[in-house]
A = this chain, B = another copy of it.
């Protein structure tokens, strides 16, 4: 460890959640990128499909970049890869399931063949220039999630990424808590830790606790069962398959992202099911109602998703039959409450029974609550702390939690997008700021819609417009 070296950590993007979608680690002439995700548009971004991070700082420094490490396969961590790879081609590292999910995306963008994908394994490590990175198994709402221990010339950085501490996970191994303890004993310069659930007391329930709820729910069902959840929640899919097998039901998949997740997870061995469990969605009518489960997308009420179209009778293949039971195994992401409520109302009015979070414990979160966060702080015992993965309110609460546990305020850094945290082996401070922000994607257009266009769209949407057409004839002034 040299005392002259400096490490810069820069959260990029322009999302509400800081330090989540993409973060740069820069030391001398080397940059390592962690994650590369999208955000979903805010209500006022009329006509915008998705939001990607502004990576102009990285583009300017592209010769320094050693690679991009993806911590897990969620959209807000991998979704911007096809856009960012247009700016610079670098190797992309991820676990097996993460890369399997990424491949569908690369294929859609026609760049699967030209992208350098490299598989990493929890428990192993990799050298990126002078960065040595250990991949640590965590538990989250998608299997094959990892945290990172980034050993740098100034010290060790632990980035937890999204996690919960699930002692009894489904379809994946438990979290490698001992590795965090070992790192803590060796000395950690900076902890970067998930803040999503910092407002919740206690400990997030294990995925395993849903087993009983699914069984009880399936036992009650007399007709077909439709289950919706986040497509990438492979553990949840496994639970649905297990409950289906127990009650002698076949499972049909409905919706593109469920299809992709199923294929990726099956190919990589993350789903453990019998081949004859699956029936084609076109063939469900050959079975009795009580022999069928339909696994569908649309747990957030997204208007174009399979479940929304089924609820509004606009789906080509599936229609609600009175007596169907619909299980919504997800909680609304803030902002989606009304969309979901509309779908629930429509399902009820078509005669389905609907089981959702207000009525039953049919979902568990993928993020650590306060007690789990306290455990992480105690194990890692960092010198400095940067709360990440949360809106400002969450980062602030996470800072409070760290202070309650004994850290002093000056050792905690709440960053804004583009802020540069400069670390030496014995100091840390926010020093400087690089241009960053969000880039709006509207169909095929990337970055061509800015705030002026959005303002115009808002005005148009609220007031309409008047077009005045005049024809004027130029007449010579004659005497």
Q: Which residues of A contact B (CB under 8 A)?
A: 16, 42-43, 46-47, 199-200, 334-335, 337-338, 341, 344-346, 348-349, 354, 358-359, 391-393, 396-397, 453, 456-458, 460-465, 467, 469, 471
Q: 18 new A-B pairs (CB below 8 Å) besides A16-B341, A348-B393, A460-B464?
A: A43-B338, A47-B463, A47-B464, A200-B358, A334-B337, A334-B338, A335-B338, A337-B337, A341-B393, A349-B392, A354-B393, A359-B397, A457-B461, A457-B464, A460-B465, A461-B461, A465-B465, A471-B471
Residue numbers in B under 8 Å from A471 (CB-CB): 471
Contact between B47 and A345 (Cβ–Cβ < 8 Å)?
no
Shortest Cβ distance from residue A289 to the other chain B in the assembled complex, whole angstroms: 21
Inter-subunit contact A199/B393 (CB<8 Å): no
Please report the C-alpha to C-alpha distance between residue A463 and residue B461 in the assembled complex, in whole angstroms: 10
* Contact yes or no, B341 A461, CB < 8 A: no
Instruction: Enumerate 8 A-B pairs (CB-CB under 8 Å) in ascending A order.
Output: A341-B391, A346-B392, A348-B392, A348-B393, A348-B396, A453-B464, A460-B464, A469-B469
CA distance A458 to B46 in the complex (A): 9
B393 and A344 form a contact (CB under 8 A):
yes
In whole angstroms, what is the CA distance A455 to B463 when docked? 13
| A335-B337, A345-B392 known; A462 vs B457 contact (CB < 8 Å) | yes
Distance (whole angstroms) from the CB of A27 to the closest CB of chain B: 29
**5 shortest interchain CB distances as A-B pairs:** A461-B461, A47-B462, A460-B460, A345-B392, A46-B461
B460→A458 contact, CB < 8 A? no
How far is A462 from B49 in the complex, measured between Cα atoms in Å?
10
Chain B residues in 8 Å Cβ range of A463 = 47
Contacts of A345 in B (CB 8 A): 16, 391-393
Known: A341-B391, A469-B469. A199 touches B47 (CB 8 A): no
Q: Report A324 CB to chain B, min CB distance, Å.
A: 14
Residues of B within 8 A of A358 (CB): 199-200
In Å, the complex CA distance between A461 and B45 comes to 9
Closest to A396 in B: B348
User: What is the bound-complex CA distance between A126 and B46, given in angstroms?
Assistant: 52
Closest-by-CB residue of B relative to A46 is B461
Residues of B within 8 A of A338 (CB): 42-43, 334-335
